Structure 1
């Protein structure tokens, strides 16, 4: 008689769980920026903010916590200065290089 295997429980992937040091964050953000996808950039900023703690990031960016959630929500169109404030609060700097 064979034993039935218990069904495997899968959990949803959450990038924030793996963004536990500055190097991992920098590599993640660099890969996302290379896609040229603004929605993916907002998602990545949200992932990093969750990894670092949304309340602290909001405070460091000079935003309310709810404002930060709204700015990084899918489909949001935050102002450029908001994106830069969040990036600075996350310890991330965007750089340019020739294509």
Structure 2
């Protein structure tokens, strides 16, 4: 019988660039729950206690905000992202040119 270990994305988020790409991919999907989950994975990769401290939150409130039932405010998300050394940016949505006809 083959034994497997659970996959954990946090194990691969070992640089600011990897974290930024991971969060950008989550934002691109347009699903707030996926972004919240990704933010939680990244915070866990960096250490929830450290991120909570740097974001000015209690560890418990950070866990609650990033839980599947959580709904972090934009302020909380931005504070967490700053603690993670990344920022959210806005760019125009590219539209495909209309086909002639």
Query: Is this a same-fold pair by TM over 0.5?
Result: yes
Give the count of matched residue pairs: 93
1:16-95 equivalences under 5 Å are 16-95=10-89
Structure 2: gaps spanning 5 or more residues: 94-101
RMSD over aligned CA atoms reads 0.8
Q: Is there any run of 5+ residues in structure 1 with no aligned partner, and where? A: 1-6
2-structure distance, mates of 1:70, 1:26: 23
Q: CA deviation at 1:10?
A: 1.2
Match of 1:96, SS state, is coil
TM-score normalised to the size of structure 2? Answer: 0.88
- Please say if residues 39 and 75 of structure 1, whose CA atoms lie closer than 8 Å, have aligned partners that are also in contact: no
Q: Is residue 13 of structure 1 aligned with residue 7 of structure 2?
A: yes
Bigger shift: residues 56-65 or 72-81: 72-81
TM-score, normalised with respect to structure 1: 0.90
Partner of 1:58: helix, strand, or coil? Answer: helix
Distance 1:21 1:73 in 2: 23
Query: Where has structure 1 moved over 3 Å in runs of 4 or more?
Result: none
